Structure 1
Amino acid sequence: MRDQLHEPLTLIDIAQTEHFSPFHFHRVFREITTVTPARFLAALRMAEARRLLVHSQLTVAEVSTEVGYRSTGTFTTQFTRLVGIPPERFRRVARALPDRPVASLLLAARSVLRPQQWARVLVRPENCDPQTLLFVHCRPVRGDRTQHHNWTSGTGQVLLPIDTLPFPGEYQAQVIAIAPSATPTEALVNHAAGSYLVGTARFRSPLHGPSNRQVTVPLRQPLSIDPPPLSVAPVRLLADLANRFAPAKITPNTAHAHF
């Protein structure tokens, strides 16, 4: 799939490369990756589209062709559904990411990432550096996989606010842990090796009020069978932090000011 993103692949095409029937391939693929072949292929295409939007001058129409779409409208609709915002808007947001390690950004913005005081569940990744930036996305196990709004961030561990777990029941937590030495673009756009870890865990949300429930999430390196993370939420948060805590610029009018 990764080598043929520019081609209009079908389930039959992909199944034939593994000498499976389409039905058998679909079932086995979903058992291994937890998603359907079509959803996995769409995720690969959108990840490559995100990279091209940030690192090239290609138009949206040209990007859509590069990742296998014959219709720019279909590409834009799919991109918006999976990433959370339209392609051109993603390009503007992602290009605002700072070109410096996440650790230095967190040092300036640590007051913004304070834990929520009114929370239901504590998500604590295993063997996690306290300075590691975490993004946690929770969804009902039987819910919509394309929600983008309920991401929570923190360092070392994350307390999930009540509004991210609106109903009691079983949830799945998806964790992205960005290495302190990685830049936001390396981890969230390029998906560079060693720049981030991933993990998932299921848990039940309590019925009312805060809770001392703790969810331990094992972290690991991303595998080739993992769909790439697509949501714009972590990208937008880091771009906003970079804008709010950018070093003050010296202008000609202030360079020689005396106080």
Structure 2
Amino acid sequence: MYLAYFDETYSKKNDENSTGEHAIIALVIPADKMSDLESALDGVVAKARKQHPEIPLYAELHAYELNSGVGSWKALKRKPRPRVRIYQDAISAIARIDGLFVCRGSVDLTKRFCEDPHRWALTFALEHVNYCVRGKKDNVIGICDDIPNKLIYQRYFQQFRTEGTQNRFSPDDKLESFVDALHFSPSKFSRPIQAVDLLAYVYRRVHLEPPKDERARLVYDNLWEEIESLFRRGSSRTW
């Protein structure tokens, strides 16, 4: 059994420094490796708290908050180097988990008009996870970061499993590797969702909206080098 955790990331279509892409990143992990991932990320926070006791006990590894020094990481607002080191520790912890891989589905907002880019990016990501897990002759449960309109996408998912995704790129794909419903969980309480958020943010800062500051670009380029192989193990598609 596999577990697939989904999170969105995107760039602004009108920003001259962005690619205009809406993407869904999926972290796919064998169920029997889940405790390894959770323990590893708990260890990252424990190490950070040992060095900086002012960090909350149950600090969330949220990429934007860690990058900006807000939320759980506001005590390190004026300490960018420790925040970078914590991000690096978290990415290294994720990359070391055996059997983990990453899939991506995305919509190119600069080339086509799409009324609901989130739906199509999620559709492509689901199809790719289904394809990869099907090749391993196994099943998978999908879990997404919580969003206000989750019922819409749960209904789409139910439809996909019974009628197929019905898009011209992957006709009759009924997501047969998936079992149960599409679940949603707040990232605050889920280390795996925090993990895919960290991965998605690195993808964004390298491929969608690179930082203008050269030092920041170098940080994210180095993080990307560590996880690029995870993306190669999975698959991706941009529409």
Higher relative contact order (CA 8 A, sep 6+): 2
In the superposition, the TM-score normalised over structure 2's length comes to 0.30
In the superposition, the TM-score normalised over structure 1's length comes to 0.28
Rg larger in structure: 1
